[in-house]
Structure 1
Amino acid sequence: MSEKNQDGKRTARQRLAAEREKQKSRDKRRRGLIVGATVVGVLGLAAVVGVVAANVGRDDGSESAGPVVAPSGALGKDSLALPAGPESAPSTLTVWEDFRCPACQGFEQAYRSTIHELTGAGKLKVEYHLATIIDGNMGGTGSRKAANAAACAQDAGKFPQYHDVLYENQPPETDDAFADTGTLIKLAGTVDGLDTPGFRSCVKDGTHNGWVEKSNRAFQNGGFSGTPTVLLNGENIYQDRSMTPAKLKQMVLDADR
């Protein structure tokens, strides 16, 4: 075989080897991209899980919450439930909520009229439990201060009305507007008879902050996945994707038969 032919074969083999190395490099990069994307997906899921864990695992961080002063008329274990509707109603709706929580506002907007109808008819009583998970996740004190103000409204016998006003005026989740007691007092002015010196003092002094913190700890220890958590006669109905206001109403009416 001539030297020229040998050189040609060597060149061909070298080209083939080089092409194989390039292909290996391309395959390695592709695998790296796939693995990278998978890692990003897992991290994204971990971030979501982390948010949920933070929701139920972080306190509002206040060391100055003060003594636990339950609002007037609070019910249940450790007096942590704020009632709405007649005590004699055959069904009980238990709601864990945070006044800064957008999903809680969504629940209110969808179900409020039905809940009002059922409580007004004596078919349903509601027990509201207040949490401060958004303070823990987003920072700030608006969840706690709004909850304290709601407890102050309970003292004045105006909790259901003020509860609705807070959700009607809920700021964006990242806006800690409820941390301003002036805002909370201004909103109280829309509830007939609520904006009194006693209410203002209660809001500004954080009279029920210790109670709010205790309620939040009860939420953390309750094994709940987030807010709102809604139970009808002990059954978690918010996780039911087929749940509608009409279905809730029918369940309450059926329970009264």
Structure 2
Amino acid sequence: MAEHLMSDKNREGKRSARERMLEERAEQEARSRRNKKLVVGGAVLAVIAAAVVVGVVVQNQRSKPETPTAAPAGTIGDKNLIIPVGAPDAPSTLTVYEDPRCPACGIFERTFSPTVDQLEDAGKVFVNYHIVSFIDRSLGGSGSKYGANALGCAQNAGHFRDFHDVLYRNQPDETADTFGNKQALIDLGKQVPGLDNAEFQSCVNSNTFAGWVSAVQQDFDKSSFKSTPTVLLNGTPIYPKKGDEQISPENLVKWVDEANQGKQLGTPGSHGQSPAPTSTAAETNNPPSP
């Protein structure tokens, strides 16, 4: 009887030990699973955190425009990104965003530049040009950037308007990267008195205002404008139409005269090229955004 009781106790002892072992193993496995989840969860959170940091850095890089190390003489506005033409004290401001390779810009200029020149010379409008260069991104080449730099070189020499008109009168097909050839831009400069010289050629060849060109484009990227030409009269879009009226040289004159009614006209510089202002009060007549 005693041996039977001892045998039962031994069996119960073994069973209890086995159950404790199984319970301990189950607890270990449960702890292991929890630890794995914590490790994996921590890794995921770390990846997400890293992605957020990278995203913030990238966004900051996108939203932080360059400050150009050199800007053409006489440019105005924040970081001197705007080329002004006409009388700064004109009662109306015409704001124009253009890309040298943009075919619609070429059509606009060949159609409207004589009218715009007349409005400038009469002291009716102060024209603010933003020379952007985004077409190179989609089509490849360097014509937009080099063309914009050449326009900056012409501005620096005091002959922006004449060179601007010559450039758009001789604009190649959009897919032909003719302006990516710096000599082609130098040859166009020979048509403008005051640009057939070593200074202009060196400025074009050395891409002197590359940083300025990049900063102007970054400013355009931040804006709500997505295409060229973008044309605004006192902050109101007028291209391809103003309200229900289609733009035309006649309508442009009419719209400017209506905006200027009862206001004193400005005093333009020679040939409509405004002198370098002493302040950065560009686009003071109901400036557009940005």
The TM-score bracket by the shorter chain reads 0.7 to 0.9
d(CA) in 1 for partners of 2:202 and 2:73? 16
Identify the residue that residue 252 of structure 1 maps to in structure 2. 256
Identify the residue that residue 110 of structure 2 maps to in structure 1. 109
After TM superposition, the score normalised by the length of structure 1 is 0.73
d(CA) in 2 for partners of 1:140 and 1:243? 32
d(CA) in 2 for partners of 1:247 and 1:193? 34
1:66·1:209 contact (CA, 8 Å) conserved in 2?
A: no
d(CA) in 2 for partners of 1:67 and 1:234? 26
* C-alpha spacing 1:206/1:248, structure 2 compared with 1 (3 Å): same
1:239 shift after superposition: 4.2
Q: C-alpha deviations, 1:31-52, integer Å up to 9, x for none?
A: xxxxxxxxxxxxxxxxxxxxxx
1:82·1:154 contact (CA, 8 Å) conserved in 2?
A: yes
Instruction: Within 5 Å, give how 1:54-65 maps onto structure 2.
Output: none
1:68 shift after superposition: 3.1
1:66 shift after superposition: 11
Identify the residue that residue 243 of structure 1 maps to in structure 2. 247
Q: Runs of 4+ in structure 1 displaced over 4 angstroms?
A: none
Instruction: Within 5 Å, give how 1:57-206 maps onto structure 2.
Output: 68-206=69-207
Identify the residue that residue 266 of structure 2 maps to in structure 1. none
- Partner amino acid, structure 2, of 1:164: D
Identify the residue that residue 217 of structure 2 maps to in structure 1. 216
Q: C-alpha deviations, 1:67-102, integer Å up to 9, x for none?
A: 531100001121111011111111110000001000
Unmatched tracts of structure 1, length 5 or more: 1-64
Q: CA RMSD in A?
A: 1.5
Identify the residue that residue 49 of structure 1 maps to in structure 2. none
d(CA) in 2 for partners of 1:229 and 1:197? 34
SS at match of 1:129: strand
The number of residues matched between the two structures is 193
Which structure has the larger Rg over C-alpha atoms?
Answer: 2
Q: C-alpha deviations, 1:218-239, integer Å up to 9, x for none?
A: 1111011200000110111114
After TM superposition, the score normalised by the length of structure 2 is 0.64
Identity rate of aligned residues, in percent? 47
- Partner amino acid, structure 1, of 2:202: S
d(CA) in 2 for partners of 1:66 and 1:245? 36
